[in-house]
């Protein structure tokens, strides 16, 4: 297996290692190590980004082959440059992470030993102002993680009705002022198109009562909601986690880093189902075929330590969950 995408990114203005600090790096390595430290192990980095976690894993485990997935071609290009010295142990695939099963099959691998999900918006996307993810920078309202396809945030803001805007602000942003913000956007766009993040931020600020402004930036939750809607993040994750679990060999491990509660709840539920007995209620003895096929590796969700938060502020909201396959799927007892 070798690199399948070889785009070259422009030389960054500074060393990529200085601008990208992987979150929970040592803890991820610690949790994945028992599954991927043997010769010939295969790990999927389902959210490759700029390759920080991938670089550390490839350095640490000399017999590891890594399959890196990302929907962002710019990220794949940067990661390919960063990881070029590992070319003979690296496969890069341009895909959304719910395509994990197809990506694994495309390498000729029938199962993997480890999978890492580092969810949410990447450092690259946040730090490149012209991508429109950050409410602190004026930029075109894009927010697409893959800029080659799909609806932009500007198109959502321009085309969704008041009810739909309110729905996504409530559901994906958990925004208490969702209705007020939806009405403000409808009124503002009747006067002029809302095409830039700065315009939207000002609309939201103007619509926010003075008391509410003291509890955080008015745009934070709305921008999160728009990003999730544009990239279908939750529906993608709902498909990706079961596909990832099914792709693990016995002894294989998954680590997930979630940055907001909606993602974490979805992962929590999926892991709980996977690690529960399937025995019918009232059965006096659990039969072997009903025994859990996975076991959790951490109790609940781990949070970043004070030291980790000081070193990397982006770790502050992260919730880490991890799980290990202990039994094969039915019909795959020899897997």
pLDDT at 291: 83
97 belongs to an annotated ligand binding site: yes
51 belongs to an annotated ligand binding site: yes
Same domain, residue pair 241 and 148:
no
pLDDT at 286: 63
Residue 9 maps to a domain: no
Q: What is the CATH number of the domain that holds 27?
A: 3.40.50.150
53 belongs to an annotated ligand binding site: yes
Same domain, residue pair 223 and 292:
no
Same domain, residue pair 96 and 244:
yes
Range of the domain at 51: 16-118+233-325
Same domain, residue pair 219 and 273:
no
Q: Is the pLDDT of residue 121 over 90?
A: no
Q: Give the span between the Cα atoms of 198 and 10, in whole angstroms.
A: 27
Same domain, residue pair 133 and 226:
yes
110 belongs to an annotated ligand binding site: no
Tens digits of residue pLDDT in 137-195: 899 999 998 888 889 999 999 999 999 999 999 999 999 999 999 999 999 999 999 99
Residue 36 maps to a domain: yes
For the chain, the straight-line distance linking the first and the last C-alpha, in angstroms and rounded, comes to 21
Same domain, residue pair 178 and 260:
no
Q: Is the pLDDT of residue 10 over 50?
A: no
Looking at per-residue pLDDT, the higher value among 125 and 31 belongs to 31
**Structure tokens that stand for 303 in this block:** 């949070």
Q: What is the CATH number of the domain that holds 162?
A: 1.10.150.170
- What is the CB neighbour count within 10 angstroms for residue 228? 24
Tens digits of residue pLDDT in 50-109: 999 999 999 999 999 999 999 999 889 999 999 999 999 999 999 999 999 999 999 999
Residue 124 maps to a domain: no
Sorting pLDDT into bands at 50, 70 and 90, what band is 331? low
Q: Is the pLDDT of residue 15 over 80?
A: no
The arithmetic mean of pLDDT across residues 12-20, rounded, is: 49
Same domain, residue pair 212 and 239:
no
pLDDT at 193: 97
Q: Give the span between the Cα atoms of 113 and 104, in whole angstroms.
A: 11
SS (H, E, C) the chain: CCCCCCCCCCCCCCCHHHHCCCCCHHHHHHHHHHHHCCCCCEEEECCCCCCHHHHHHHHHCCCCEEEEEECCHHHHHHHHHHCHHHHHHEEEEECCHHHHHHHHHHCCCCCEEEEEEECCCCHHHHHCHHHCCCCCCCCECCCCCCCCCCCCHHHHHHHCCHHHHHHHHHHHHCCCCHHHHHHHHHHHHCCCCCCEHHHHHHHHHHHCCHHHHCCCCCCHHHHHHHHHHHHCHHHHHHHHHHHHHHHEEEEEEEEEEECCHHHHHHHHHHHHHHCCCCCCCCCCCCCHHHCCCEEECCCCCEECCHHHHHHCHHHCCCEEEEEEECCCCCCCCCC
Q: Is the pLDDT of residue 123 over 50?
A: yes
Last residue of a domain, one of 231, 257, 277: 231
Q: Give the span between the Cα atoms of 149 and 264, in whole angstroms.
A: 27
Q: Is the pLDDT of residue 3 over 60?
A: no
40 contacts: CB under 8 Å, gap ≥ 6: 63, 65
Residue 68 maps to a domain: yes
Same domain, residue pair 240 and 221:
no
Last residue of a domain, one of 211, 231, 251: 231
pLDDT at 183: 98
pLDDT at 282: 61
Same domain, residue pair 223 and 299:
no
Q: Is the pLDDT of residue 273 over 80?
A: yes
Residue 211 maps to a domain: yes
Total of domains in the chain: 2
Residue 2 maps to a domain: no
Residue 8 maps to a domain: no
pLDDT at 313: 85
198 belongs to an annotated ligand binding site: no
pLDDT at 254: 98
74 belongs to an annotated ligand binding site: no
Residue 1 maps to a domain: no
pLDDT at 187: 98
Same domain, residue pair 33 and 52:
yes
Same domain, residue pair 105 and 251:
yes
Same domain, residue pair 38 and 66:
yes
Which of 52-66, 118-132, 213-227 has the highest mean predicted lDDT (pLDDT)?
52-66
Q: Is the pLDDT of residue 335 over 50?
A: no
125 belongs to an annotated ligand binding site: yes
Last residue of a domain, one of 202, 231, 260: 231
Tens digits of residue pLDDT in 192-202: 999 999 999 99
């Amino acid at each position: 297996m070798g690199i399948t995408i070889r785009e070259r990114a422009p030389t960054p203005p500074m060393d990529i290692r200085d601008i990208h600090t992987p979150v929970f790096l040592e803890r991820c390595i610690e949790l994945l190590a028992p599954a991927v430290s043997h010769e010939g192990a295969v790990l999927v980095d389902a959210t490759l980004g700029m390759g920080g976690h991938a670089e550390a894993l490839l350095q640490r485990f000399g017999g590891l082959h890594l399959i890196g997935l990302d929907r962002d071609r710019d990220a794949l290009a940067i990661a390919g440059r960063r990881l070029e010295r590992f070319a003979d142990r690296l496969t890069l695939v341009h895909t959304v992470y719910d395509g994990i099963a197809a990506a694994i099959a495309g390498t000729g691998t029938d199962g993997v030993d480890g999978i890492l999900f580092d969810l949410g918006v990447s450092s690259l996307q946040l730090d490149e102002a012209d991508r429109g993810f950050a409410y602190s920078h004026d930029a075109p309202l894009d927010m697409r993680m893959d800029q080659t396809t799909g609806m932009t945030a500007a198109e959502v803001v321009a085309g969704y009705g008041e009810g739909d805007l309110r729905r996504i602000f409530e559901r994906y942003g958990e925004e208490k002022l969702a209705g007020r913000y939806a009405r403000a956007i409808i009124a503002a766009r009747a006067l002029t198109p809302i095409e830039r993040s700065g315009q939207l931020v000002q609309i939201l600020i103007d619509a926010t009562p003075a008391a509410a402004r003291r509890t955080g930036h008015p745009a934070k939750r709305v921008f999160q909601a728009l990003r999730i809607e544009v990239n279908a993040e939750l529906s993608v994750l709902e498909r990706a986690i079961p596909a990832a679990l099914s792709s693990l060999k016995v002894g294989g491990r998954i680590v997930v880093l979630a940055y907001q509660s909606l993602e974490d709840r979805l992962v929590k539920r999926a892991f709980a189902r996977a690690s529960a007995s399937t025995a019918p209620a009232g059965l006096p003895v659990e039969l072997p075929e009903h025994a859990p096929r996975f076991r959790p590796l951490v109790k609940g969700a781990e949070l970043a330590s004070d030291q980790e938060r000081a070193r990397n502020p982006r770790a502050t909201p992260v919730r880490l969950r991890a799980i290990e396959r202990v039994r094969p799927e039915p019909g795959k007892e020899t897997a």
